[in-house]
Amino acid sequence: MAIDTNLCVGCSDCVVACQVENNVPVGYARDWVVEVVEGTYPNLAIELRSERCNHCDNSPCVRACPTGASHYAEGGIVLVTPDECIGCAACIESCPYDARFTHPDGYADKCTFCIHRVQNGQDPACVAVCPTTCMTFGDMDDPNSEISKIVRSRKSKVLAAEAGTGPNIYYLTK
């Protein structure tokens, strides 16, 4: 997934759309918006970022999971099987992005990239709703995909690169 921080206005529509789509209980969220302000008045810059699970290639959460509930699904999407999760929270501790939380029903929960939609050929709910169209979802392994082209042509960064988890969300910057 690529998210253009120049376009994002921080409206949090992605958060609501996800909550509605995935029945996330009120008070919890699988995605969230971060605002970083830099500089002093009047020389200022703001970066707005919609954040979520990075579906890392080398996921510490999958490694940390004692039961195999956390696993890689089709296309590298990192998922949790609620039935197999014992709620030990080791994965929550291990995630450098703080992307996981304990669902009130006791299992670890987080973004699924809306795999149920993606399998139907739809974009994840956050991508589909964004009024600024700042997000692009697709296959990074396919060099001709829209997202590969965007990431190639723009300056981008990943978060907490130093953690070496191989994150898959690219933040496009100026």
152 lies in the site for another protein, by CB under 8 A: no
Contacting range for another protein; rule: CB under 8 A; set: 9-17, 59-67, 86-94, 114-122: 9-17
End-to-end CA distance of the chain: 17
In terms of DSSP bridges, do strands 2-4 and 170-172 run parallel, antiparallel, or are they unpaired? Answer: parallel
CB 38 within 8 A of CB 44: yes
Nearer Cβ to another protein, position 8 or 169?
Answer: 8
11 lies in the site for another protein, by CB under 8 A: yes
51 lies in the site for another protein, by CB under 8 A: no
121 lies in the site for another protein, by CB under 8 A: no
9 lies in the site for another protein, by CB under 8 A: yes
143 lies in the site for another protein, by CB under 8 A: no
Question: To the nearest whole angstrom, how small is the minimum distance from the Cβ of residue 121 to another protein?
Answer: 16
Tokens 């965007």, residue located: 150
CB 61 within 8 A of CB 95: yes
CA atoms of 135 and 126, how far apart (whole Å):
8
CB 31 within 8 A of CB 50: yes
- Interaction site with another protein (CB under 8 A): 6-7, 9-13, 15-17, 19-21, 26-27, 29, 37, 39-42, 44-46, 48, 128-134
